[in-house]
Structure 1
Amino acid sequence: MKTLLSVFSCCLLLALTSCGSDSQTATSVATPPVAADKKPPTARSRTILFFGNSLTAGLGVEPEEAFPALVGQKIDSAGLGYTVVNAGLSGETTAGGRSRVGWVLRQPVDVFVLELGGNDGLRGLPLTDTRRNLQAIIDTVRRISPQTQIVLAGMQIPPNLGADYATQFKQTYIDLARENKLVLIPFLLEGVGGVAKLNQPDGIHPTPAGHRLIARTVWDILQPLLKQPVATKAL
């Protein structure tokens, strides 16, 4: 099973098959042509797309050390048959994500992990805007790809901008998950946020060890979900 990583998105390759025809030698009795065997179409690989900011992109670590790649390794080990796409973009806000989500959905996606909002919180952007943008992203995914399962990665911020802001910021993810019936990762940086040895000198971006812990947190939520049968459209 292949695990693909891309800063924006990875296009799935289409297999092209060609059919050959055998010429037949003329005889006194015509031989009826033999119908070619019809092979069933090859099922496409299921895709899980991580849509986020520098945490998803793995700023400051090697691509294979970022948590989406580590989750991909766990998926491969479990034989679950998913291709991982890393659509993380450093510095991304919810407004930026809202503007590009349609582009990354040009490829089929089975599971969409939404990890955005941390930069909004660190910049003290209005929570109403953050909530509106996240809801718009959710709505876009459901409009373009109704069968896609959405997983929302919850985020928390330090109380630098006031305890009320930090509390409401955290609650935004809980409310969105409940109202939209989403699978919620309560806190993406559980056990990592604020722990100096698990973060780079900026105190924001995880080290490889930090990403390993994040991968475990994400995997605990994703594993049961990925084992469920994939929904199919009625013919």
Structure 2
Amino acid sequence: MFTKSLRPLNEGYAASRRRVQCAIGWGVVLVLALAFAAPALAQSAARATPATAPARTVLVMGDSLSAGYGLAASQGWVALTADRVAKDRPGWRVINASISGETTAGGASRIGGEIKRTKPAVVVIELGANDGLRGLPLAQSRTNLERMIRASKDTGAKVLLIGMRMPPNLGREYTQGFADNYSSLAKQYEVSLLPFLLEPIALDRNAFQADNLHPVASAQPKLRDHVWTKLAPLLK
């Protein structure tokens, strides 16, 4: 009788064990299936989410007129241009490597390192004013600007050359030769040229700080818009 009474229990236990084994078996199958499917799912997700392309760079090499002398960091025309680029030209950024007091010699000595550091797609060269104010030889300034243009183009970067004008007290020959440096280099190397950065404000004394050399904050949007006419077509 005791054996008979145990038989239903044994049968029930055996059935329970089979159910547990079956459940374990299906669990193992599910785990293995997920393990083999995971790489395929990951690859599919990677294909579905394209990688974000690195931003292309506009490198500005200038003097105090581009460094924002006497202004807050956000007020200069370069900073204002960076704001416009961020809004209107997604995928681009602006790096300002301008230094107050910079000459073309200084720019020529720095251009290689800045290009290596920033890998620009566009290089804006705004230098020469300090050369002119110091009466440096025109041939020397031209050679330095040429070195900067060639260094930029050798990497495949587009170039925007921004010119300056000298006051007439330096003599007609010097002032004309100074302006010709920019136009002749732009023609020779087929780069974009903005002949005179300060053209929109040059005749407005109120647009300049007390030194009568550096524009005030309220004049900077005009410079930004002036430069934009030549810069925007390069951001393609």
Could you tell me the TM-score, scaled by structure 2's length? 0.79
Which stretch shifts more, 156-165 or 174-183?
156-165
Counterparts of 2:65 and 2:179 in 1: how far apart (Å)?
A: 17
Higher relative contact order (CA 8 A, sep 6+): 1
Q: Which residue of 1 aligns with 2:137?
A: 126
RMSD, matched Cα: 1.9
Cα distance, 1:28–1:118 mapped onto 2, change above 3 Å: closer
1:97-116 equivalent positions in 2, closer than 5 A: 97-105=107-115, 106-116=117-127
Say which one has the larger Rg. Answer: 2
Could you tell me whether the CA contact under 8 Å between 2:60 and 2:125 is conserved in 1?
yes
Counterparts of 1:30 and 1:63 in 2: how far apart (Å)?
A: 59
Identity %: 40
Counterparts of 1:190 and 1:172 in 2: how far apart (Å)?
A: 17
Counterparts of 1:28 and 1:184 in 2: how far apart (Å)?
A: 67
Counterparts of 1:112 and 1:55 in 2: how far apart (Å)?
A: 16
SS in 2 for 1:63: coil
- Whether 1:58 aligns to 2:63 is no
Counterparts of 1:44 and 1:224 in 2: how far apart (Å)?
A: 20
Could you tell me whether the CA contact under 8 Å between 2:152 and 2:158 is conserved in 1?
no
1:1-235 equivalent positions in 2, closer than 5 A: 27=29, 31=33, 32=36, 34-35=39-40, 36-37=42-43, 38-39=46-47, 40-105=50-115, 106-143=117-154, 145-146=155-156, 148-226=157-235, 228=236
Could you tell me whether the CA contact under 8 Å between 1:56 and 1:67 is conserved in 2?
yes
Superposed CA deviations along residues 27-59 of structure 1, whole A, max 9, x for unmatched, are 599543533313543201121111101111000
Counterparts of 2:28 and 2:178 in 1: how far apart (Å)?
A: 79
After TM superposition, give the deviation of residue 213 of structure 1 in Å. Answer: 1.4
Q: Which runs of 5+ in 1 are unaligned?
A: 1-24, 229-235
Cα distance, 1:78–1:29 mapped onto 2, change above 3 Å: closer
SS in 2 for 1:64: coil
Could you tell me whether the CA contact under 8 Å between 1:194 and 1:203 is conserved in 2?
no
Counterparts of 1:104 and 1:133 in 2: how far apart (Å)?
A: 15
Which structure dedicates a bigger proportion of its chain to helix? 2
After TM superposition, give the deviation of residue 69 of structure 1 in Å. Answer: 1.1
Cα distance, 1:207–1:27 mapped onto 2, change above 3 Å: same
Could you tell me the TM-score, scaled by structure 1's length? 0.79
Cα distance, 1:90–1:28 mapped onto 2, change above 3 Å: closer
Counterparts of 1:133 and 1:203 in 2: how far apart (Å)?
A: 27
